[in-house]
Amino acid sequence: MRMSVIGCGYLGAVHAAAMASLGHDVIGIDVDRERVETLSAGVAPFYEPQLTELLRAGLEAGRLRFSTSMTDSADAAVHFLAVGTPQAPNADAADLRYVDAAVDALLPHLRPGSVLAGKSTVPVGTAARVAERVSGTGATVVWNPEFLREGWAVHDTITPDRIVVGAADDPAGRRAVDLLRDVYRASTEAGTPFLVTDLATAELVKGAANAFLATKISFINAMAEIAEASGADVTLLADALGHDTRIGRRYLGSGIGFGGGCLPKDIRAFAARAEELGRGSAVGFLREVDAINLRRRDRAVQLVVDALDGQVVGRRIAVLGAAFKPFSDDIRDSPALDVAVRLRGLGADVVVTDPAALDNAATAHPQLNYRVERDEALRDADAVVVVTEWDEYRREMSPQHAAELVTGRIIVDGRNCLDAAAWRDAGWTYYGMGRR
Ligand code: NAD
């Protein structure tokens, strides 16, 4: 099927390459010329496992192209909208200017029978507004939210847990849903559930999923606060809770909390939209979820300060991690970088390392020192903080080897991802989050 993907960021670039790998004929459109040139050369503009291979295969097969011109999307049967919906400046709501600009640019190229499938995460009600805007072109709007996880984006796009398509319950809506069924036939034949809803429900599924995940993470981090005050260990608590099949262990990892380009801005936008709908109190807990999350960053900084007996100025601190999560170079609202920046703000000599996100981090925060090699970041450090749970730190860093490099054997495990006993046995003073 001929299709366009409008907006080729983390979501759109992966979606375009994945759709080409399923045999579709795909044009990716982006306003960022440099990004289009990079993608056209078969180079992933960000770190995402398997994306480069998928891009090259699509380009070589002639099923994948990229362009800055919306005109090139004119013959597509489906236009996937994948532009960013960041937090609005000085507000909690989503900034929909990119959605509106993309829809306006696409308008002259929409034809009767073609489908505009929104994938961007939007406040409930946006799809109906977009449908209103395109009425008169004969095209149909559906909403098909995306649930991919960065670091697993290719896998999640080709083999998602579920596919949700929201559409109007009328002949045009049903035809559009059938078209989407064809798009995703390879996934559904492999067993992926395909759920059809109205437009509003499809938009809400995404917001509600992120609200739930954020709440689960903040729940265990709230328990970490109680554990800290009572002498309990939150990791043992999480293990014991997780064995309850009604609860489950996933997303019960306590640490410095969530970040990235989605969860923080999505829960704020969700709460802001609920307020507009006069139902702010229904999701008032999301404000607390956000506050608990941000407090964990304070806690990690405080642990370092306390470990150094309050003497932070000029002390060398190795910060292991900059990306908001492993297998990603995304530093948007990264708790890891936030901890590094705050320690620098307290006068520490902060040295950051990360296997993938150093370039992005250095561009955003040139005031920090960076080292490509983990061991170089550890060298002469008075304290070490693990803030992104990369395997390079979690599995591959030996406490004995690290001890030979540092000046002070103090380690703050901001992700509770290290073997505390092994580090203590090697002579380190180990501090976890929510642990004695
Ligand atoms: P991003 O910032 O990485 O990418 C957005 C892209 O859209 C950029 O390349 C930008 O140049 C392009 N763009 C902006 N205006 C445009 C226009 N008018 N025409 C064409 N291109 C335009 O953002 P992202 O992380 O890919 O997120 C995109 C959407 O997907 C957001 O709504 C986000 O919430 C949602 N989402 C993201 C993820 C994720 O893990 N990143 C997962 C699920 C859903």
The C-alpha atoms of residue 84 and residue 94 are separated, in whole angstroms, by 10
Name the residue with tokens 């019960």.
252
Residue 311 has pLDDT above 90, yes or no: yes
What proportion of the chain, given as a percentage, has pLDDT over 70? Answer: 100
Distance CA 165, CA 178 (A): 10
Which amino acid residue places its CA nearest to atom 8 of ligand 1? 9
Q: Rounded to 5 degrees, what are φ and ψ at 125?
A: 110, -20
Instruction: Assign residue 89 a region (left: φ > 0; alpha: ψ between -120 and 50; beta: otherwise).
Output: beta
Tokens of 378: 């550890």
Of 5, 15, 30, 205, the one to substitute when testing ligand 1's pocket (max ligand atoms within 8 A of C-beta) is 30
Confidence check: pLDDT of 241 > 90: yes
* Ligand 1 atom closest to the CA of 13, numbered from 1: 26
Confirm or reject: Cβ of 333 under 6 Å from ligand 1.
no
Tell me which amino acid residue 334 is. Answer: S
Q: Assess contact for 4 and 80: CB atoms under 8 A.
A: yes
Looking at ligand 1, which residue's alpha carbon is closest to its atom 34? 121
Please give the angle made by the CA atoms of 343, 348 and 350, to the nearest 5 degrees.
75
Look up residue 281 and give its DSSP letter: G
Average pLDDT for 69-95: 97
pLDDT range class, residue 388, cuts 50, 70, 90: very high
> Per-residue pLDDT averaged across 53-59, rounded?
98
Evaluate: CB of 8 within 6 angstroms of ligand 1: yes
For all residues of the chain together, what is the average pLDDT? 97
**How many Å lie between the centroid of ligand 1 and the Cα of residue 150?**
13
Question: How many beta carbons lie within 10 A of that of residue 426, not counting itself?
Answer: 16
Spatial separation of the C-alpha atoms in residues 387 and 300, rounded to whole Å: 9
Pocket of ligand 1 contains residue 261 by CB under 6 Å:
yes
Check if the beta carbon of residue 323 is closer than 8 Å to that of residue 356.
yes
Ligand 1 atom 3 nearest Cα = 9
Give the tens place of pLDDT for each residue, 317-352: 999 999 999 999 999 999 999 999 999 999 999 999
pLDDT of residue 130: 98
- The response to whether 150 counts as a known ligand-binding position is yes
Residue of the CA atom closest to atom 27 of ligand 1: 84
* Angle, alpha carbons 214-334-265 (nearest 5°): 50
Q: What confidence tier does 192 reach under pLDDT thresholds 50, 70, 90? A: very high
Which amino acid appears at position 207 of this protein?
G
Tokens of 169: 């319950």
Residue 401's contacts (CB-CB under 8 Å, 6 or more residues apart) are: 375
Residue to mutate (ligand 1; options 4, 8, 10, 133; most atoms within 8 A of CB): 10
From the CA of 315, how far away is ligand 1's center (Å)?
Answer: 39
- Any ligand 1 atom below 6 A from CB of 27: no
- Of the candidates 396, 391, 400, the one whose C-alpha atom is nearest the C-alpha of residue 422 is 400
| Arithmetic mean of pLDDT, 117-139 | 97
The β-bridge partners of 3 are 26, 78
Residues 44-53, buried b or exposed e (16+ Cβ, 10 A)? bbbbbebbee
- 197 known member of a binding site: no
Give the per-residue pLDDT at 416: 98
Cβ–Cβ < 8 Å for 146, 15: yes
Residue of minimum CA distance from atom 12 in ligand 1: 7
Report how far ligand 1's centroid is from the alpha carbon of 148 (Å): 13
What are the φ/ψ torsions at residue 3 (nearest 5 degrees)? Answer: -145, 155
Residue nearest ligand 1's atom 4 by CA: 9
Query: What pLDDT shows up at residue 436?
Result: 81
For the stretch 150-177, pLDDT in tens is 999 999 999 999 999 999 999 999 999 9
Q: pTM of the entire structure?
A: 0.96
CA dihedral 42, 43, 44, 50 (to 10 degrees): 60
What residue ranges define each of the domains in the chain, with the CATH number in brackets? 2-197 (3.40.50.720), 212-436 (3.40.50.720)
Q: What is the mean pLDDT of residues 388-399?
A: 98
Residue type at position 306: D
pLDDT band at 378 (very low <50, low <70, confident <90, very high): very high
Ligand-binding site membership of 35 (annotated) = yes
Tell whether ligand 1 has an atom less than 6 A from the beta carbon of residue 148. Answer: yes
Q: Is the CB of 150 under 6 A from ligand 1?
A: yes
Among residues 294, 384, 371, 381, the alpha carbon closest in space to that of 338 is found at 294
Rounded to whole angstroms, how far apart are CA atoms 39 and 355? 22
Is residue 8 annotated as a catalytic residue, yes or no?
no
The predicted model gives 187-213 an average pLDDT of 97
Alpha helices in 124-197 (DSSP H): 126-134, 153-158, 171-183, 185-189
Q: What is d(CA 276, CA 70) in angstroms, rounded to the nearest whole number? A: 33
Atom of ligand 1 nearest to the CA of 145: 44
Mean pLDDT of 121-135: 98
Residue 30, annotated ligand binder? yes
**Mean pLDDT of the region 83-93:** 97
- Which pLDDT score is estimated for 293? 98
Q: Are 58 and 20 in contact (CB under 8 A)?
A: yes
Q: What are phi and psi of 38, to 5 degrees?
A: -60, -50
Find the catalytic residue in 262, 272, 320, 336: 262
